[in-house]
């Protein structure tokens, strides 16, 4: 009589089904992780921008005015001609050609060196501790955060986000937006 042997193991079809299911689950996890990471980064950037805002408000409450970054913003590493008197907030920005920039789009008229914020950091340190080396959305050398002193009645704190970010949903004003980045701001009042 022939003995019947029970086969043990999996068939190729069963193994393929398991591999496909694992692949689908991995794809779902990766998409969810990327969404969570992007959301956490957006929250970190917004939190830092609001910390800067609080420091400026504390300074204003104590001294009756906002700290003026410098008397001659376009000299000594100051912002380029098209940057609307921009000044870096913080440290740890990307370096290009030996200089660190919080905003360096394309060419010199649009560059703001990290050193422009030195006076602001010193002044704001009188009322609190400025944020340092935090999470930033980086598109080339356009990073933020930075202050734009457009006029004595229009002073804005900007940060840079991933394209398509809805500034209004975070309680922020909407600045430049395009395929590469979204700039959002808080206006000092």
CB 112 within 8 A of CB 148: no
Distance CA 140, CA 67 (A): 29
Residue 72 lies in a domain: yes
What value, to the nearest 5°, has the Cα angle with vertex 111 and ends 184 and 125? 65
Residue 7 lies in a domain: no
Residue 1 lies in a domain: no
Residue 103 lies in a domain: yes
Residue 6 lies in a domain: no
pLDDT digits (tens, 9 = 90+) for 127-177: 999 887 665 666 666 777 888 887 778 889 998 888 888 999 999 999 888
What's the pLDDT band for 76 if we cut at 50, 70, 90?
very low
What's the pLDDT band for 184 if we cut at 50, 70, 90?
very high
Q: Looking at the predicted structure, is the pLDDT value of residue 56 above 90?
A: yes
User: What's the mean pLDDT when you consider all of the chain?
Assistant: 80
Least confident of 2-16, 19-33, 59-73, 78-92: 78-92
Residue 5 lies in a domain: no
Residue 4 lies in a domain: no
What's the pLDDT band for 79 if we cut at 50, 70, 90?
very low
Q: Which domain holds residue 56?
A: 13-188
* Count of the separate structural domains present in the chain: 1
pLDDT value at position 21? 94
The phi, psi pair for 110, rounded to 5°, reads -115, 25
Report the predicted TM-score, pTM, of the whole model to 2 decimal places: 0.75
Residue 2 lies in a domain: no
Please provide the DSSP assignment of 61-120 as one string: HHHSSPPP--S-TTSSS---TTSSSEEE-SS---EETTEEEEEE-SSGGGEEEGGGGHHH
Q: Looking at the predicted structure, is the pLDDT value of residue 44 above 60?
A: yes
* Tokens 């009756």 found at: 64
């Amino acid at each position: 009589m022939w003995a019947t042997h029970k086969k043990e193991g999996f068939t190729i079809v069963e193994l393929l089904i398991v591999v496909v299911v694992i692949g689908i689950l991995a794809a779902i996890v990766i998409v969810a992780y990327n969404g969570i990471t992007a959301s956490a980064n957006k929250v970190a950037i917004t939190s830092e921008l609001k910390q800067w805002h609080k420091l400026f408000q504390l300074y204003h409450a104590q001294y009756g005015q906002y700290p003026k970054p410098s008397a001659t913003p376009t000299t000594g590493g100051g912002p380029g001609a098209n940057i609307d008197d921009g000044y870096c907030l913080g440290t740890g920005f990307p370096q290009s050609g030996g200089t660190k920039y919080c905003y360096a789009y394309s060419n010199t008229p649009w560059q703001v060196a990290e050193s422009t914020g030195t006076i602001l950091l010193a002044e704001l340190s009188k009322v609190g501790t400025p944020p340092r080396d935090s999470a930033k959305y980086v598109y080339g050398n356009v990073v933020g955060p930075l202050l734009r002193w457009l006029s004595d009645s229009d002073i804005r704190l900007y940060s840079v986000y991933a394209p398509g970010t809805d500034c209004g949903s975070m309680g922020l004003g909407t600045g430049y937006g395009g395929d590469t980045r979204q700039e959002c701001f808080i206006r000092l009042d």
